[in-house]
A and B are shown apart, each in its own frame.
Chain A
Amino acid sequence: AQRVTQPEKLLSVFKGAPVELKCNYSYSGSPELFWYVQYSRQRLQLLLRHISRESIKGFTADLNKGETSFHLKKPFAQEEDSAMYYCALSGSGGSYIPTFGRGTSLIVHP
């Protein structure tokens, strides 16, 4: 069974502070990991995925297979980063119904 754990329900930081949203997963095969974001009054949307190795809006996430983690990081948080963040996993090779973590609410204070 695949599982995604986001240990923090809420993360509160000040503008300019570093941010790390934690995500751990369990999956027996080779997973694909994603971070989705939901800004206030907007729909849930993809932020980034590990296979792209990209930085989106200053956020990066590295897949650590040894620690089964996919933490989302940003060195300097901005107020507009305040949102709900969901870590998600889908299996590669066709088993692609995604599993979502419970979400972490990020609040960036001015």
Chain B
Amino acid sequence: SAVISQKPSRDICQRGTSLTIQCQVDSQVTMMFWYRQQPGQSLTLIATANQGSEATYESGFVIDKFPISRPNLTFSTLTVSNMSPEDSSIYLCSVDELTDRGGTEAFFGQGTRLTVV
């Protein structure tokens, strides 16, 4: 099973600034995922980060606001840019590993709790 280290675990930021969240995996993975977890709402996929190519963003999320880096198969960063209070949320890094039937199991970092003031 994959072990994911995510940092920072929490931060309080001023509006208009940017925060970069780091995600380190203990094994090489093709795809890494970034989610947002808002209170009372489902996990919302922000983007899929592939090594060597641009990230694929879901509807409602854009690269200018959430630039992502994926320099190698074990590391990714998500930046929340020009933050506003509406960006306050928990951000999660995740990877999938194959199960015994060709499906996958998701593994998660511990999350980054972001508060924008």
Q: Are A and B subunits of one complex?
A: yes
Chain A interfacial positions (CB closer than 8 Å to B): 4, 6, 9, 32, 34, 36, 42-46, 49, 51, 86, 88, 90, 92-94, 96-98, 100-103
Interface size on B, residues (CB 8 A): 23
Chain B interfacial positions (CB closer than 8 Å to A): 31, 33, 35, 40-43, 45, 48, 92, 96, 99, 101-111
Give CA–CA (A51, B101) in the complex, Å.
Answer: 8
The interface residues of chain B lying within 8 Å CB-to-CB of A42 are: 110
Given contacts A43-B109, A51-B101, contact A98 B92 (CB under 8 A): no
Given contacts A51-B103, A96-B96, A98-B96, contact A103 B110 (CB under 8 A): no
Given contacts A43-B111, A44-B108, A97-B48, contact A102 B42 (CB under 8 A): yes
**CB <8 Å contact, B45 and A103:** no
- Interface SS majority for chain B: strand
Given contacts A43-B111, A86-B43, contact A96 B104 (CB under 8 A): yes
**CB <8 Å contact, B92 and A44:** yes
**CB <8 Å contact, B103 and A90:** yes
**CB <8 Å contact, A92 and B45:** no
* Interface pairs (12), CB distance under 8 Å: A32-B101, A43-B109, A46-B107, A49-B103, A90-B104, A92-B102, A96-B104, A100-B35, A102-B40, A102-B41, A102-B42, A103-B43
The interface residues of chain B lying within 8 Å CB-to-CB of A46 are: 105-107
CB distance from A102 to the nearest CB of B (A): 4
Question: What 10 A-B pairs are tightest by C-beta distance, nearest first?
Answer: A102-B42, A32-B103, A100-B43, A44-B108, A96-B104, A43-B110, A100-B42, A43-B108, A51-B101, A46-B105
